[in-house]
């Protein structure tokens, strides 16, 4: 999952209005920019010593197939075009793909060392960009990718489920540019991705709980702290314990060793109970609102 990022040097800035929205999406507007000009460029390779930034795209395997998709809203269906450039060891362009749609399939060339992804202007008034996703063919064959448009919840559902299929919930910290999702075993996965915003986490958890109920995935649940989750504030790090408390048949796999005792431990338990109660209250309220809407139809 590739975000817009916080470095605006990689996008068209002349006369552009660029705003970071509350849900971490980006609103871009520059209706008078020339047609065919890149709005935004992401790089798989950067010179850190000069650019002072890390690559924004994942490393791909030569000769392997991938599916790329833009998750965004546009004022028209023909607002932008998705373009990929592939470079060899001499940094020469060896292939360039112009996609007809805002998603498509490509094979990473055998001679390629790096690549760029561009959103090129055709005729837009505004863009509300959420993220790019790049998924390998092998993953596409095994999983169906579902994203929530309002929260940072990603559901990877197995395409060929079997009786007793397990489901893992992974909570991990959001990165500035690119968040990689690690799948270790063949099972359903929910990835909850957030930062220091308590509201973002709670909204995502409520959405996930609704989805779990709809998909009847309440058996054999495991909860895991993902990459960099332990770098978040102490209160946020208690969320897996709250999830374990409210979800039946769930267990926390990578249990954190607790060195707290006495009053501090009681405060932590009180915070866990507070989170659990808040999640349950929001879930019940949402169900009641849905029931009320159906009764009025």
Q: What is the model's pLDDT at position 261?
A: 66
**Nearest CA among 282, 283, 266, 268 for reference residue 237:** 268
pLDDT value at residue 183: 87
* Structure-token pair, residue 63: 């000769």
Residue 47, both tokens: 């010179």
pLDDT of residue 70: 94
Q: Could you tell me the fold of the domain covering 15-133?
A: Jelly Rolls (2.60.120)
Q: How many CA atoms lie within 13 A of 87 on its CB side?
A: 12
* Model pLDDT, residue 50: 46
| Per-residue pLDDT reduced to its tens digit, 147-171 | 776 667 888 889 888 888 889 999 9
Q: Please state the domain extents for the chain.
A: 15-133, 147-293
Q: Name the stretches of the chain with pLDDT < 70.
A: 47-54, 149-151, 216-219, 254-261
Q: Which helix (H) or strand (E) holds 235?
A: none
Tell me, what's the pLDDT at 197?
83
What pLDDT shows up at residue 49?
41
Q: Is the dihedral of CA 88, 92, 97, 102 positive or negative?
A: positive
For residue 89, with 0-12 CB atoms within 10 Å meaning exposed, 13-18 middle and 19 or more buried, which class applies? Answer: exposed
């Amino acid at each position: 999952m590739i975000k817009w990022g916080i470095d605006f040097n990689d996008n068209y800035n002349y006369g552009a209005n660029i705003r970071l929205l509350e849900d971490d999406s980006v609103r871009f507007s520059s209706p008078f920019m020339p047609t065919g000009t890149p709005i935004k460029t992401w790089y798989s390779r950067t010179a850190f010593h000069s650019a002072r930034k890390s690559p924004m795209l994942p490393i791909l395997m030569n000769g392997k197939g991938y599916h790329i998709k833009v998750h965004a809203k546009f004022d028209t269906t023909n607002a932008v075009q998705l373009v990929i450039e592939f470079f060899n060891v001499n940094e020469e362009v060896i292939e360039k793909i112009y996609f007809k749609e805002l998603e498509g399939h490509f094979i990473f060339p055998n001679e390629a060392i790096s690549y760029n992804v561009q959103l090129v202007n055709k005729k837009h008034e505004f863009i509300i960009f959420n993220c790019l996703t790049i998924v390998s063919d092998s993953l596409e064959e095994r999983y169906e990718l579902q994203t929530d448009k309002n929260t940072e919840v990603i559901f990877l559902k197995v395409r060929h489920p079997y009786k007793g299929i397990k489901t893992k919930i992974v909570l991990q910290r959001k990165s500035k540019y690119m968040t990689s999702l690690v799948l270790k075993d063949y099972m359903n996965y929910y990835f909850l991705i957030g930062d220091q915003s308590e509201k973002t986490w709670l909204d995502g958890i409520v959405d996930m709980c609704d989805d779990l109920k709809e998909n009847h995935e309440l058996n054999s649940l495991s909860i895991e702290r993902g990459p960099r989750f332990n770098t978040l504030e102490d209160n946020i790090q208690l969320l897996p314990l709250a999830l374990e408390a409210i979800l039946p048949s769930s267990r926390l796999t990578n249990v954190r060793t607790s060195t707290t005792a006495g009053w501090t431990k009681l405060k932590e338990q009180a915070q866990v109970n507070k989170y659990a109660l808040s999640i349950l209250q929001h879930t019940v309220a949402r169900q009641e609102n849905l029931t009320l809407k159906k009764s009025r139809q």
